[in-house]
């Protein structure tokens, strides 16, 4: 990492030093060390967010999910520790919160998804207290484990907002792991678990739903569809849900509540010329190049590509972005192609995972050579031991191996 003041103009500027930004920076640096590259990232701490489901279940420590951002920025890449305020794509510049302007030849936009905690009335006042927890922020995951560990009975409510969200399976992973903990502690019979989702089915890809339904039945979870959390009263221990598509509301009492916040494109992307009508970064789903501005590429949770917003998707997108960005710098055709791959390791119990893998259009694919609908100990070991290492020492270093996936015949 260079700590000299940044120059005005870089070959490549990367907005966001999360999973996507660091993967692209590392790969690009290896492929083209002569390029000047800058990562704009305000945070000093980088989080392995897929680990937070495990932190909330006492399987991983919070410390194991965190590293200093400075130690992860690749050697020779400049870290601009600030936040982008706005984009000027015609001038090929971005403006930072501190007012400085940074020029680029190519821009990679990957600032992640925005968590809209304020959209739930009363939530901010009670989050992290009164039994109201969330695996969707770092201290929340630690508090979630405290709530689960000390819970001895009563109503445990778990929510899921309107899509899209990052890791669509994470809301129900919290349900399964909490219930399995209570089962192992012998208190599940005193718990009334309820999963209230704004969706109309358990999971977007129908192939995996029967396996998940089996776990819901096994733990005795009551599922309420089309219920969207709109307000929380932590003192009274009441959660208010709106029935999706109506003005009707339902108030549910709780003793413990796991909240997944509504999510959207980041405001500074939404209000920029780079956004589509819904506010997401408007890129080609195959080449990852911006639909209007050829000097801009994007990946990760902030884009409008119709894949599952996961680190698994980022892992497949980063090599495509790097390949196409390099081609675009030398005026060659863009040959890198992303197929919409995403994966969701659904932790259905301590020790077992249903590893859902799919591409654009919900086509089921498989990287492993067994029926991935079946809860697997092998996949659990991947989720808890292999994936974190692959993330820190492979993906973020730009050296993770390509793992091929095969189309699954879902009729057989």
Ligand X SMILES: Cc1cc2nc3c(=O)[nH]c(=O)nc-3n(C[C@H](O)[C@H](O)[C@H](O)COP(=O)(O)OP(=O)(O)OC[C@H]3O[C@@H](n4cnc5c(N)ncnc54)[C@H](O)[C@@H]3O)c2cc1C
First to last CA, the chain: 51
Out of 6, 79, 104, 136, which residue is the one contacting ligand X (CB under 6 A)? 136
Exactly one of 110, 147, 167, 196 is catalytic; which is it? 167
Segment holding 358, helix H or strand E: strand 352-359
Q: Confirm whether 110 is a catalytic residue.
A: no
Place of tokens 């997401």: 280
Out of 237, 290, 309, 323, which residue is the one contacting ligand X (CB under 6 A)? 309
Segment holding 180, helix H or strand E: helix 170-185
Distances (CA, A) of 295 to 88, 92, 124, 281: 12, 8, 39, 14
Q: Least distance to ligand X from the beta carbon of 67, Å?
A: 12
Q: Which residues contact 338 (CB under 8 A, 6 or more apart)?
A: 285, 286, 287, 288, 305, 307, 316, 317, 320
Alpha carbon 354 to its chain's center: 18
Site membership for ligand X, residue 300 (CB under 6 A): yes
Site membership for ligand X, residue 77 (CB under 6 A): no
Out of 122, 261, 262, 266, which residue is the one contacting ligand X (CB under 6 A)? 266
Out of 26, 107, 110, 321, which residue is the one contacting ligand X (CB under 6 A)? 110
**CB-neighbour burial class of residue 315 (10 A; exposed 0-12, middle 13-18, buried 19+):** buried
Residue 50 vs 240, nearer CB to ligand X: 50
- Whether omega before 164 lies within 30 degrees of 0, making that bond cis, reads yes
Q: Residue 383 corresponds to which tokens in the numbers above?
A: 């989720």
> What Rg value do the Cα atoms of the chain yield, rounded?
21
Residues 81-100 that bind ligand X (CB under 6 A): 83-84
| Neighbouring C-beta atoms of residue 159, cutoff 10 Å | 27
Site membership for ligand X, residue 164 (CB under 6 A): no
Q: Least distance to ligand X from the beta carbon of 249, Å?
A: 27
Site membership for ligand X, residue 279 (CB under 6 A): no
Site membership for ligand X, residue 158 (CB under 6 A): no
| Alpha-carbon torsion angle 274, 277, 282, 284, nearest 10 | -150
Site membership for ligand X, residue 170 (CB under 6 A): yes
Q: Confirm whether 167 is a catalytic residue.
A: yes
Site membership for ligand X, residue 43 (CB under 6 A): yes
Residues 351-410 that bind ligand X (CB under 6 A): none
Q: Least distance to ligand X from the beta carbon of 95, Å?
A: 11
Site membership for ligand X, residue 15 (CB under 6 A): yes
Helix, strand, coil distribution of the chain in percent, nearest 5: 30, 30, 40
Site membership for ligand X, residue 20 (CB under 6 A): yes
Q: Least distance to ligand X from the beta carbon of 110, Å?
A: 5
Pairing of the two strands 78-80 and 66-68: unpaired
Out of 24, 50, 87, 384, which residue is the one contacting ligand X (CB under 6 A)? 50
# residues near ligand X by CB under 6 A: 36
Q: Which stretch binds ligand X (CB under 6 A): 104-112, 153-161, 211-219, 332-340?
A: 104-112
Site membership for ligand X, residue 319 (CB under 6 A): no
Q: Least distance to ligand X from the beta carbon of 198, Å?
A: 17
Distance from C-alpha of 226 to C-alpha of 162, rounded to nearest angstrom: 9
Site membership for ligand X, residue 18 (CB under 6 A): yes
Find out whether 210 and 372 touch, Cβ atoms under 8 Å. Answer: no
Cross-strand pairs, 283: 290
Interacting residues toward ligand X by CB under 6 A: 15-21, 40-43, 49-50, 52-53, 83-84, 110-112, 135-136, 166-167, 170, 266, 268, 300-302, 309-312, 314, 345
Which residues are identified as catalytic?
A: 167, 344
């Amino acid at each position: 990492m260079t700590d000299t003041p940044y120059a005005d103009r870089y070959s490549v500027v990367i907005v966001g030093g999360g999973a996507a930004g660091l993967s692209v920076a590392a790969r690009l640096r290896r492929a083209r060390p002569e390029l000047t590259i800058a990562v704009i990232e305000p945070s000093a701490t980088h989080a392995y967010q897929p680990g937070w489901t495990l932190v909330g279940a006492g399987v991983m420590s919070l410390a194991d999910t965190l590293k200093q951002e400075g130690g992860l920025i690749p050697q020779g890449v400049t870290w601009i520790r600030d936040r982008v305020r706005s984009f000027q794509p015609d001038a090929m510049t971005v403006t930072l919160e501190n007012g400085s302007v940074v020029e680029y030849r190519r821009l990679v936009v990957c600032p992640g998804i925005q968590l809209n905690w304020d959209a739930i009335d009363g939530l901010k006042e009670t989050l992290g207290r009164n039994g109201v927890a969330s695996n969707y922020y770092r201290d929340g995951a630690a508090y979630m484990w405290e709530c689960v560990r000390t819970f001895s009975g009563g109503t445990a409510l778990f929510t899921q907002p309107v899509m899209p969200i990052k890791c669509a399976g994470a809301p129900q992973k919290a349900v399964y792991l909490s219930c399995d903990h209570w089962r192992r502690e012998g208190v599940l019979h005193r718990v009334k678990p309820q999963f209230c989702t704004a969706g109309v089915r358990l999971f977007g890809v129908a192939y995996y739903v029967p396996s998940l339904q089996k776990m819901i039945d096994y733990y005795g979870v009551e599922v309420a569809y089309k219920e969207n959390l709109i307000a929380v009263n932590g003192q009274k221990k009441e959660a208010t849900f709106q029935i999706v598509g109506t003005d009707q509301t339902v108030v549910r009492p709780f003793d413990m509540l796991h909240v997944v916040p509504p999510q959207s494109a980041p405001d500074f992307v939404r209000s920029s010329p780079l956004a589509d009508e819904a506010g997401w970064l408007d890129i080609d789903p195959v080449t990852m190049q911006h639909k209007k501005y050829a000097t801009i590429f994007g990946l990760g949770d902030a884009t409008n590509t119709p894949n599952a917003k996961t680190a698994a998707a980022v892992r497949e997108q980063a090599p495509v972005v790097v390949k196409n960005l390099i081609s675009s710098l030398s005026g060659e055709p863009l040959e890198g192609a992303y197929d919409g791959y995403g994966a969701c390791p659904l932790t259905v119990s301590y020790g077992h995972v249903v590893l859902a893998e799919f591409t654009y259009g919900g086509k089921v694919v498989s990287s492993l050579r067994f029926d991935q609908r079946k809860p697997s100990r092998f996949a659990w070991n991947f989720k808890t031991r292999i994936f974190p290492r692959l993330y820190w020492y492979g993906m973020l270093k730009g050296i993770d191996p390509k793992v091929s996936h095969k189309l699954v015949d879902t009729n057989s």
